[in-house]
Chain A
Amino acid sequence: MRGEPLLQAERIAKSFGRHRVLKDVSLEMRHGEIAGIVGENGAGKSTLLKILMGLLAPGAGKVSVRGTIGYCPQEAVAFETLTVNENFQYFATAYGLRRNGTADSWEAAKNDLLGAFNFGQYENRLVSELSGGTRQKLNLSLALLHAPDILILDEPYSGFDWETYLRFWDYTERLQSQGKSILIVSHLVNDRTKFDNLYALKEGHLECV
């Protein structure tokens, strides 16, 4: 872990009406770091992630991002009446990726992800026809398609079976070895050793665990 922080959140606060969800949250992510945030349901984990992603404006504080960012929301967010392949194409356009002809084309990245998470057989199926687990694989893959510098995952393995869970960690460790940063938010952490830093979100504050 080295250099300038890729992601820096300083003194973030957020309230909904009178309810103060986040009181004073600061966080830094550096190259090659895997960090986790745990917390009870309703602790404000998803709110914090939405603020980090720019989906929600903080009440106070500042977020700085250096590099590209990938975000995997908690619920699978993809086009239901498009196929898996068409979803990849749509998001590849959003990321500004080329189709083919280069080593970093989105087709190559897509094939890599389909193989890594073992759902290549569903490439031409509509998302509405997929199981919850396969939708979650797609959800995660859409965040990974452009090989982001920072990956922010909200309950990424909630719908995974054991084999996919293991594949997920293999892939995550591969990304870490490439210097990518990964922030995982979950209500449950099975393996503490996988994380460089683990934080708990309690009563609006982030504490090291």
Chain B
Amino acid sequence: MRLTYIKTGTVMTMKETARNRFALILLLTVPVLFFTLVSLTMGDNPVAFRLASISEDTIVEVSAQKQSLIFIGVAAVGLLTSFLAMNLVQKGADVNRRLILCGYRSSELILAKLGVLLCVVVLISVYVGALLRLFFRPENTALVIVGFALAGLVHSCYGLLVGALVRRELEGVLLIVLLVNIDSGWLQNPIFYAEAQNKALIRFLPAYFPSQASIVAAFTEQSIAGAVAGSLVYGGALLLIALAIYFRRMKIQKNV
């Protein structure tokens, strides 16, 4: 592993990301739009639900609006990070392959991308967490931001997987929007989850652990360690699959 190569790759990837105007506009506006819509449409009536990651017997009662704000925050972070991650591996695939042909290793290029992605995930999570405080003050904002960051990590690994698998942007965007919409925006909502027939399937989806971490941190004083560990394992597994596909796609024959 050559540090100069990773450093140049990181700097160039950062420049590319910072110059992606469409992504920057989405990054700034999507969370504001999502939070505003929820605060305008959801009432403040109390809702009671069970938190799957703590205990099936513990019932939490909070305002419907606050509960929805947390879920829409997870969805916003998931949508943005998966879109950015997909963009990072899909958009420049040809030119990245040319770089590999010229002497880069695919591991150096992907490390540079992962470094930038990690920074972006942290930035987006902090931004969405700060915006959330304009609408209400969670029990533990820092841990809610950790929950958002976990959503960002898991979804960016999903985005990498989509970017490595699918060659065209439209298909990739559809795969991302469908999953984030159904998973984060609907199935992980504890009100739906409480009545769901197949809870095991919902627990298997990417947003389960990050959603649990965020909502536990927002409304209780319980530990989120289990949800953190679950998110990291889930994200790690997705990352490994994404990397295997990426390396295969970037493979060059060595003509000696």
Chain A residues proximal to chain B, CB less than 8 Å: 52-57, 63-65, 71, 73, 77-79, 81-82, 86, 89-91, 93-96, 126, 142, 146
**A–B Cβ pairs within 8 angstroms, 20 of them:** A53-B255, A54-B254, A55-B253, A63-B255, A64-B255, A71-B98, A73-B98, A78-B95, A79-B12, A81-B15, A81-B19, A82-B12, A86-B12, A89-B12, A90-B9, A90-B12, A90-B99, A94-B5, A94-B104, A142-B102
Q: How far is the CA of A71 from the CA of B124 in the complex (A)?
A: 39
Q: Do B255 and A65 touch (CB < 8 A)? A: yes
Of residues 18 through 48 on chain B, the ones whose CB sits less than 8 Å from some CB of chain A are 19-20
Q: How far is the CA of A146 from the CA of B101 in the complex (A)?
A: 13
Contacting residues, chain B, for A52 (C-beta < 8 A): 255
Contacting residues, chain B, for A146 (C-beta < 8 A): 102
Q: Do A81 and B20 touch (CB < 8 A)? A: yes
What residue of chain B has the Cβ atom nearest to residue A7's Cβ? B255
**Secondary structure call for the A interface:** mixed
Q: How far is the CA of A139 from the CA of B92 in the complex (A)?
A: 15
Contacting residues, chain A, for B94 (C-beta < 8 A): 73, 77
Given A89-B8, A91-B102, verify A64-B95 contact (CB < 8 Å): no
Residue from A64, A77, A142 within 8 A of B256 (CB atoms): A64
Q: How far is the CA of A57 from the CA of B248 in the complex (A)?
A: 13
Chain B residues proximal to chain A, CB less than 8 Å: 4-5, 8-9, 12, 15-16, 19-20, 92, 94-95, 97-104, 252-256
Q: How far is the CA of A78 from the CA of B102 in the complex (A)?
A: 13
Contacting residues, chain B, for A96 (C-beta < 8 A): 103
Q: Do A93 and B19 touch (CB < 8 A)? A: no
Q: How far is the CA of A82 from the CA of B255 in the complex (A)?
A: 30
What residue of chain A has the Cβ atom nearest to residue B253's Cβ? A54
Contacting residues, chain A, for B8 (C-beta < 8 A): 89-90, 93
Contacting residues, chain B, for A95 (C-beta < 8 A): 102-103
Contacting residues, chain A, for B101 (C-beta < 8 A): 53-55, 71
Contacting residues, chain A, for B5 (C-beta < 8 A): 93-94
Q: How far is the CA of A183 from the CA of B100 in the complex (A)?
A: 21
| Nearest Cβ on chain A to B187's Cβ, whole angstroms | 36
Q: How far is the CA of A173 from the CA of B95 in the complex (A)?
A: 28
| Nearest Cβ on chain A to B14's Cβ, whole angstroms | 11
Q: How far is the CA of A83 from the CA of B102 in the complex (A)?
A: 19
Q: Do A79 and B255 touch (CB < 8 A)? A: no
Residue from A73, A94, A126 within 8 A of B99 (CB atoms): A94
| Nearest Cβ on chain B to A126's Cβ, whole angstroms | 7
Contacting residues, chain B, for A86 (C-beta < 8 A): 12, 15
Contacting residues, chain B, for A89 (C-beta < 8 A): 8, 12
Q: How far is the CA of A73 from the CA of B94 in the complex (A)?
A: 10
Q: Do B4 and A93 touch (CB < 8 A)? A: yes
| Nearest Cβ on chain B to A180's Cβ, whole angstroms | 17
Contacting residues, chain A, for B102 (C-beta < 8 A): 91, 94-95, 142, 146
Q: Do A91 and B99 touch (CB < 8 A)? A: yes
| Nearest Cβ on chain B to A138's Cβ, whole angstroms | 11
Contacting residues, chain A, for B19 (C-beta < 8 A): 81, 126
Interchain residue pairs A-B with the least CB separation, the first 7: A54-B253, A94-B102, A93-B8, A63-B255, A81-B19, A94-B103, A65-B255
Contacting residues, chain A, for B104 (C-beta < 8 A): 93-94
Q: How far is the CA of A145 from the CA of B189 in the complex (A)?
A: 55
Q: How far is the CA of A64 from the CA of B256 in the complex (A)?
A: 5
Supplied contacts A82-B12, A90-B9, A146-B102, 12 more A-B pairs, CB within 8 Å: A54-B253, A54-B254, A56-B253, A57-B253, A73-B98, A77-B98, A81-B15, A82-B16, A86-B15, A90-B8, A95-B102, A96-B103
